[in-house]
Chains A and B, each alone.
Chain A
Amino acid sequence: MKSLLSCLLLLLTLTLQAQTTISGTVIDQNKQPVLGANVYLKGTYDGASTLDNGRFSFTSTATGTQTLIISFLSYETKTLVNNINQFKDLKITLREDVNTLDAVVISAGTFAAGDNSKVSVLKPLDVVTTASALGDFVGALQTLPGTTTVAEDGRLFVRGGEAEETQIFIDGIRVFTPYSPTTNNVPTRGRYSPFLFDGITFSTGGYSAEYGQALSSVLELNTIHQPDQEKTDIGIMSVGANLGNTQIWGKNSLSVNASYINLAPYLELFKDRNDWKKPFETLSGEAVFRHKTNNGLLKLYSAFDTTDFSLVQDDINYSNGIPFGLNNNNLYFNGSYKEALNNNWTISGGISYTFANAKTEVFESKIKSTQNSVHAKVKLKYRFNNRFKLNFGVEQFTTQFTENYNDETITNVNYGYNNNLSAAFTEADVFFSKKIALKAGFRAEYSALFDAVNVSPRLSLAYKTGSKSQLSLAYGRFFQQPNSDILKFNQDLQAQQAQHYILNYQYNADGKIFRAETYYKQYSDLVKYDSDFTSFDTDFNNSGDGFAKGIDLFFRDNKSIKNIDYWVSYSLLDTQRDYKNYANAAQPNFANAHNLSVVGKYWIDNLKSQVGLSYNFASGRSYTDPNQEGFLNQKTKSYNSLSLNWAYLLSPQKILYFSVNNALGFNNINGYQYANTPDLNGQFNSRALRPAADQFFFVGFFWTISEKGTDNQLDNL
C-alpha cells in the first residue's frame, strides 16, 4: 500500500516535471527578425521574449492541445492552436497592424479635423482661433482649399458647386437647415456652436456611399462623446451673451447652452449700409444628453433658435428700397445610438427631426413656409479583422414642405410637396497592407416623388509612396434632388447628378502637411427653366449640364518657426454650367478662378496671448452687364480681406478676446445690380452690391467656472 502510494506520487511528480521545449523564430512580412515579441502559452506562465535574431525558446510542463500567442507592438497578435509537441522550430510571420499612425489613409477629397484622425488638417481649436472665422465652423472651413469666397453669402461653396450641393451631418444624421437666416448682404453662420463638436470631416468630393443627396461636398460633425468635467461657461460679447453648463452624473451627462444675440447696440455705434427697422435679434438654445450603456452610447441633441429682423434694402428698381422682414423658428432634434454588439458587429443608428417655419414679408407680400423633415438611418458594421470591414445600412428621408402666399390681390394660396426618399448602401474597407488601402461601395436610392431608382458607385484607393507621402484616387457618382424652390412648383423632374474624379497627393512630416489635389467634376441632368423667377407657370426640365475642374493646394506648418502655426490654401477653379435660366454655358456668379487663404497664429508666451491673422484673396466673380453683349459677361474686381484677432488669457479660466474683420478696410464689391429698364439714353443703370459693413469688430470676455479650474473657453471662441 505504502509503496504503491510512493509510486503514484513519483509518477505524479514525473508528469509534473515532464517538460516540452517550445522554440522558433519570429519574422515580419519583410522577412526581418522581430526583436522583443512576447511568445507564450495561453493560461500558463511559460513564455519568452524573442532575441535580436527573432529566436525564442522556452520550456513548459503543459501537455496536449495548447494555444501559443505571439504579441508585439504595432503588429497583429497571432494565435496558434496545436499539440504542444508541434511547437518546435516554428517559423512565425507577424503581420503589421494597419491601425497605426504611419499606415496609409484614404485621403482623396477629405479633410479631417479632430483628435481622432491620423492626419488632421485642422484641430477643433482652429475653428475658434482662426481670425476670419468668428467662432463659426463654416468660417474656419472656408480657409481650406476647394472652397470659394462668396462673401455676402457665408455658406460653403465647394469646387464650382452651389451651397446647397454641400450637405451637413451631425453624428451621421442629416441637418436640413444648417444655416442661420440673414439678409442678402450679410453672411450667414452655421447654427450650431462649435464647442459641441470634437471631430469634423470635410469632404470636397469622392465621399463614402453612406452619404447621398449631395452633388459636391459633405461635412460631418461629431458631437463630443463624453465631457471631461462639470463646468459653467459665461460669455459676454459686444453683440450678446451666452451661458452654458455641463453636468455629469453616473453614466449620464447633460450640456446646455443658451445664447442671445442682438445687433442693435453694435449698429448704433457702427452704422452699416442697411436701413434697419428692427435689427437682427436671435435667441438660441442647445442641449446634449449622453448616456453610456455597457457597450454603447446614446446621444440626444436638440437645438432651437428664433430669429427676427426687418429692414429696407436698397434696390436699383425701387428708389425707396424694398421693405423686407423675416421671422424664423427652427427646431432640430437628433438622437443617435451606437453599440458594439460583440468583437465583430457594431450597430449604429439615429433619427433627426427638423421643424422650420419662416414668415417673410416683402412689400405687401406675406409668405409663410413650413418644413417638416425626418431622416432615419440604421448602419451595421462587420469587422472580419483589422484589414477587412464591411458597412451596410438603410436610410429614409422625408420632407413635407408647404408655403402660403398672400398679397393685395392674392389671398391664401397654398402649395408644397412631400418628398420621400429611401436609400440603401454598402461599402467595404480593405487594407491590403500598411501601404495599400481600398474603399469601395455603392448606394441605391428610390425617390417616391419621381418614382425612380438611382445607383451610385463609389471608389477610393490609397497607396503609400514613401514613409511620409501617399497618393489617393477617388471616383464617385452622386445624385441630388432639386431644391424646394423648384420642387414646390414642379415635381415632374428627376435627380440631378455629378461624377467626381480625384487624384490626391499628400506629404505628412512631423508638424508639416502638404496636400495637392486635382479633380474633374461633371454635372448632368441639372434643372433648367424659362423664367426669371420660379413660379407656377415656369417650364422646368432636366436638360442642364456643366463641369468643374481645378487644383487645390494646402500647406500647414507648425514646427519650423517657434510658436508660429500657419497654413496656406490655394484653389484654382475652371467651371461652367448651363442650368436654371442661363442663356448659355457660363461661369456662375458664385464661382471664381483663384482663391487664396493664409492663416497664421502666433503664441506670445510672456503675454499669455495668441494673436492671429487671416488673409483672404478671391479673384473676381461674374455678373451680367445688360449694356454689353452676352450673358455673365463681366467680372467684379478681386476680393481682399485681412482679419486680426487677439486672445488674452487673464488666467487659465478667463479669456479676453478681440477681433476685427477686414482690418485694412478694403472696399469689396460682390456684384452689380442693373435696372430692369433702360434710362432715356438707353443705358441700364447699375448699383454695386456691397457688404452691409466693410468691417466688423468683436470684443468678448469668456469665463469658465469648473471645480478643477483649468478648463477654459478657448474652445468656445
Chain B
Amino acid sequence: MYKIAIIITLMFSQILSAQSTYETGMNKAFELWKSGQPAEASNLFERIATVESDNWLPSYYAAQVLILDSFTKLKDKHALEAQLKKAQTFLDDAVSRSKDNPENMVLQAMLHTAYVASDGANYGMSLSPKINALYAKAAQLAPNNPRVILCKAEWDMGSAKYFGQDTKPFCEQIEKSLQLFANFKPETTFDPNWGKERAEQLTAQCKA
C-alpha cells in the first residue's frame, strides 16, 4: 500500500513537473519577448513546440513574435523575407496541430499584411484577396472573437479610406470588439488574449 502510494506520488509529481516545465518555458518566452528579445523568444517557443507536439500554441507564438517584429523591418527586403518564411513554417505547424482555428487565420492574414505593407505594388494584388478570404472564413467560424472583428475591421478600414468610402461601419466594429475583449476568457492561460490595446488606440483615432 505504502509503495503504491509512493509510486502514485512519483507519477503525479512527474506529471506536475511536466506541466510546470511547459508553464515555466512559456512564461520565460513571454518574458524574453517583453524584454525586447524577440529572436530569443521565438527560439524558445520553437523549442517548446518540438516537445509539446500536440499543442498549437508554442508554434503560434513562435510565428507571431516574428510576424510582429517583421513590421519593424519592412524596408529590408531580404531580412523580411527570411523572417516571414521562418514564421510561415511555424504557422504551418500551428495550423496542422489545430485545424480551422480562427486565431491561426488572423495570424496568417497578418503575415500576408506584412508583405503587402513592405511592397504593395508587388504583393497587394495577389495577397489582398487571400487576406480578405482569411478574415471572411475566420468571421464565419468565430463571429464573436474580438481579434477576428478587430483585425478584419482594421484591414477593411484601410481599403475604405483609400477609396474615400465611409469608415464609420468599421469604427463600429472596432467598438464592438472592445466590448467583446472585455468579456473574453481565453481557454487556457496561454491562449491568445491580445488586441485590446490596439482596439482602444483605433477607437480613439475613430473619435478624433
Contact = CB atoms under 8 A, between A and B. Distances in A.
B172 interface: no
Chain B interface, DSSP helix/strand/loop, else mixed: helix
B185 to A, nearest CB: 28
A101 B77 contact: yes
A175 interface: no
Interface stretch (A357-365, A368-376, A708-716): A708-716
Given A101-B77, A651-B163, A45 B48 contact: yes
A532 interface: no
A714 B126 CA distance: 11
A558 B156 CA distance: 26
A711 B133 CA distance: 10
A115 B130 CA distance: 13
A315 interface: no
Interface residues of B, number: 36
A101 B122 CA distance: 14
Given A43-B50, A49-B40, A710 B77 contact: no
Interface in A636-689: 649, 651-652
B61 to A, nearest CB: 14
Given A42-B50, A49-B40, A115 B129 contact: no
B83 interface: yes
Interface in B23-40: 25, 39-40
Interface in A47-71: 47, 49, 69, 71
A673 B136 CA distance: 61
Contact of B39 (A40, A49, A651): A49
Given A38-B47, A45-B51, A652-B159, A710 B132 contact: yes
B29 to A, nearest CB: 10
B93 interface: no
Nearest to A710: B132
Contacts of A293: none
B78 A102 contact: yes
A430 interface: no
B81 interface: yes
Interface string A99-114: 0111000000000000
Contacts of A102: 78
A711 B129 contact: yes
B128 A715 contact: no
A43 B50 CA distance: 6
A73 B47 contact: no
Interface string B64-79: 0000000000000110
A36 interface: yes
B121 A36 contact: no
A631 to B, nearest CB: 50
A464 to B, nearest CB: 14
Interface string A214-241: 0000000000000011000000000000
B6 interface: yes
A428 B6 CA distance: 62
B97 interface: no
A125 interface: yes
B82 interface: yes
A45 B25 contact: yes
Contacts of A707: 136
Interface string B102-140: 000000000000000000011101101110110010000
A716 to B, nearest CB: 12
Which A-B residue pairs are the 6 nearest by beta carbons? A38-B43, A228-B129, A74-B82, A708-B132, A73-B82, A228-B133
Interface of B: 3, 6, 10, 21, 25, 39-40, 43-44, 46-48, 50-51, 77-78, 81-83, 85-86, 121-123, 125-126, 128-130, 132-133, 136, 156, 159, 163, 165
Given A49-B39, A73-B83, A101-B81, 6 more contacts: A5-B6, A45-B25, A649-B163, A651-B165, A652-B159, A708-B136
Interface of A: 5, 12, 36, 38, 40, 42-47, 49, 69, 71, 73-74, 100-102, 115, 123-125, 198, 228-229, 510, 558, 565, 608, 649, 651-652, 707-708, 710-711, 714-715
13 contacts: A36-B39, A45-B21, A46-B47, A47-B47, A73-B85, A124-B126, A198-B126, A558-B121, A652-B159, A710-B128, A710-B129, A710-B156, A711-B129
